[in-house]
Structure formats: structure tokens, C-alpha cells
């Protein structure tokens, strides 16, 4: 049976331009023959887990996965039964509400601030940078933060709500450069602890809460890199929160990863190892959720910039690993490499997008803000 699996999988990989034990940097170097059966029977989950287990390697993992995505390998292999179970759970339960909303904070964002500080750089911005005129990660992240401030027309004295504020990178930048007061909401205790330290002395407040529980009225409402954790059953509630907390003459901005297709579950490997219960929204899903709530003023896609951001994070992680490896094992290292490089591949292959959406309440005059 193993020989049959090898023949089938080798042919499928070749159709995507990926060889096995070949000389191209994107070819898979197979160390365990069971890899073929695992890929054929378990799909995306098997691809990531077999890499974590050291069953195969690749000099350019990112380019390998780009070819697999462009070759539609996911649609060509058999679906793992564990994915079917995940689909059923997603249909029956609201996987991103209540206590489950805090699961991603506990299992992803709380795994170690030293890791994130080393990977993300000085500003601790865990979202896509804006590389239009930037040459370094720090410059790209600062350009992204300033782009957001300009798009929402920040002015001194305004109060701003940041849903999913992370370490407070946006809040720190906006407070220091635009003279505004900010409230940030996060589900991660570790992010809040470090963010509070980073923003000491600034008019910035952190709250450990789910977005459902936020109240108050703000001149501006932003969400940077959080919509990926909201879930398709909750998009309407998420936009209702933004609408409820935004003053009638205010401006809201959503910055997040989007999918070309409308789905109801996320990547099964990411769900299991990186972002529990995550999924990417489509244009259609977001459009339906903001219906009768907002006027869409601008929808900006700079997805290729996330490829460059992720490759910079991977470089930082690789450089920092000798000082981190006492806190993590080799399987974690391979898991994290697969996470960063597979995500870079998803953006490079145009399978995922990065959107910034500017919104106002109905009836408000169109704002005169810089959108580039």
C-alpha cells in the first residue's frame, strides 16, 4: 500500500511542480516513506504534522507551499475525517463566543512575550506592515500605523477604541503622535501585561474583555488583526459592537486578513496548532454583516505586503532561536517555521488578502481623509 501511496502522491506533487528528493530548493526531501500516505489521507493537517515530526524537509518551504496552493493540491487529496468533525462542530456550536473567545489568547498569544518581542520587533505589532515606501520591518509597521491614523482622520483630543489591541502598538503610536486617548480590548493577559508596560505614562487603558462586552462612545473605532478570530456566526455582532461604540459622526476602520471564498471553518492545521477556532472572512460575509449599519468608504487590499512581513518575522525568529530554544522544543521550532512560511506562501500565491476597510455611519458626510 505504501508504494501505491507514493506513486499517487508523487504524481500529484509533480503536477504542482514539486519533486520528491529532487534538486530544486522547493522540492520535498522525504525522510520517512509514511509521508506519502499521510499527505494523501490527511491533507493540510498531515502536511503540517509530518513536517513537525521531521518526516520531510525543504530548503524553501515557502516556495514549496506556494506551488502546492497554486496547484490546488488541497482539493485533489482526500479529506481527513478529523476535518469533517471540525466542520460539524463549527455548524453546531459558536466556536468563537463566550469562554471560547479567550481560547486563542490562552493558547497562542500567551505562549511567551520573549518569543513575540524577538519576532515582531521593537513595536510589537502583530499584523501586516505597509511596505509601499519602507525598507525595514520597523519602518513598514510605523507606516501602517500612520496610514490607519490618516485614514480615520485622527485629531488631538479624540478618544479611540481599539478592539483586539494586542500589545498596544497602535495605541502607543497614536497617543504619542496624534495626541489622542485610547482604550484597548484584548483576550490575552500576557499582551495586556506587556502592553501596559510599553504604554506607561500615556493616556492608554487596557481591558481584558471580549468585544461583545464593550460599551461607551468613541470618536473613532479600529480593529487591527482581530477579525480572523471572530467567526462567521459573529460577524454581525462584531460590526454591531463597532456601530454601537462609534459616535454618529465618527469613523471606523477594520484591518484584517480576508479569504477569496466564503467558508465556515478555518485551516485545520492552524486551528489545531496556532489559532484555535480561527477563520478568514470573505467580502460577501463582511458585506452582509455591515448591511444597514455602515457606509463603506474605502476597501484597500495590500495582501502582498503580508508576505514580506511574514518573511521578516521568520528571519527574526531564526536569528533569535538560539536564545529561545531552552524554552521550546524542536517540534515547536518546526511548527513555528511551518506557520510563518506557510502563511507567507498563502499571501504570495494570492490565496489570502489583507484588507483595510474604512466605514462611517449612514447619513454622515463623506470624510475627507487620506486613504493612501
Which residues are part of the catalytic machinery? 343
What single DSSP character describes residue 23?
S
Q: Residue 183: phi, psi to the nearest 5?
A: -120, 125
366 backbone φψ class: left, alpha, beta (φ>0; ψ -120 to 50): beta
Q: 134 with 140: CB under 8 angstroms?
A: yes
Query: What span, in angstroms and rounded, lies between the C-alpha atoms of 91 and 231?
Result: 11
317-322's contacts with Cβ under 8 Å and 24+ in sequence apart are 317/115, 317/118, 317/119, 319/118, 320/115, 320/118, 320/119
d(CA 363, CA 294): 9
The radius of gyration of the chain's CA atoms, rounded to the nearest angstrom, is 21
Q: Count the alpha carbons within 13 Å of 353 in the hemisphere toward its beta carbon.
A: 14
Cα–Cα distance, 203 to 22 (Å, whole number): 57
DSSP annotation of 69 reads H
Q: What CA–CA distance (Å, rounded) separates 227 from 231?
A: 8
Q: Are 141 and 123 in contact (CB under 8 A)?
A: yes
How many C-alpha atoms does 360 have within 13 Å on its Cβ side? 17
Amino acid at each position: 500500500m505504501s508504494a501505491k501511496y507514493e506513486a499517487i502522491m508523487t504524481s500529484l506533487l509533480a503536477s504542482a511542480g514539486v519533486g520528491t528528493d529532487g534538486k530544486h530548493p522547493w522540492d520535498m526531501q522525504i525522510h520517512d516513506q509514511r509521508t506519502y500516505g499521510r499527505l494523501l489521507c490527511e491533507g493540510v493537517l498531515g502536511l503540517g504534522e509530518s513536517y513537525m515530526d521531521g518526516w520531510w524537509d525543504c530548503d524553501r518551504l515557502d516556495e514549496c507551499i506556494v506551488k502546492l496552493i497554486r496547484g490546488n493540491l488541497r482539493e485533489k487529496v482526500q479529506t481527513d475525517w478529523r476535518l469533517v468533525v471540525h466542520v460539524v462542530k463549527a455548524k453546531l456550536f459558536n466556536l468563537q463566543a463566550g469562554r471560547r473567545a479567550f481560547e486563542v489568547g490562552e493558547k497562542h498569544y500567551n505562549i511567551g512575550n520573549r518569543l513575540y518581542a524577538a519576532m515582531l520587533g521593537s513595536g510589537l505589532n502583530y499584523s501586516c506592515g505597509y511596505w509601499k515606501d519602507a525598507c525595514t520591518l520597523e519602518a513598514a509597521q510605523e507606516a501602517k500605523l500612520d496610514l490607519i491614523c490618516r485614514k480615520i482622520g485622527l485629531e488631538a483630543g479624540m478618544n479611540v477604541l481599539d478592539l483586539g489591541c494586542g500589545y498596544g502598538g497602535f495605541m502607543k503610536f497614536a497617543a504619542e503622535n496624534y495626541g489622542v486617548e485610547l482604550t484597548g480590548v484584548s483576550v490575552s493577559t500576557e499582551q495586556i501585561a506587556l502592553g501596559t508596560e510599553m504604554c506607561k505614562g500615556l493616556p492608554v487603558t487596557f481591558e481584558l474583555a471580549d468585544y461583545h462586552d464593550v460599551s461607551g462612545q468613541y470618536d473613532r473605532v479600529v480593529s487591527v488583526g482581530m477579525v480572523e478570530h471572530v467567526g462567521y456566526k459573529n460577524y454581525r455582532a462584531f460590526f454591531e459592537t463597532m456601530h454601537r461604540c462609534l459616535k454618529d459622526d465618527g469613523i471606523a476602520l477594520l484591518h484584517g486578513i480576508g479569504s477569496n471564498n466564503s467558508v465556515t471553518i478555518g485551516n485545520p492545521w492552524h486551528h489545531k496548532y496556532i489559532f484555535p477556532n480561527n477563520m478568514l472572512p470573505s467580502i460577501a460575509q463582511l458585506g452582509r454583516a455591515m448591511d444597514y449599519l455602515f457606509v463603506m468608504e474605502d476597501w484597500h487590499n495590500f495582501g502582498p505586503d503580508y508576505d514580506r512581513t511574514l518573511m521578516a518575522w521568520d528571519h527574526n525568529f531564526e536569528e533569535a532561536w538560539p536564545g529561545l530554544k531552552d524554552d521550546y522544543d524542536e517540534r515547536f521550532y518546526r511548527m513555528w517555521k511551518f506557520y510563518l512560511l506557510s502563511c507567507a506562501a498563502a499571501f504570495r500565491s494570492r490565496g489570502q488578502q489583507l484588507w483595510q476597510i474604512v466605514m462611517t455611519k449612514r447619513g454622515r458626510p463623506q470624510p475627507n481623509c487620506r486613504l493612501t
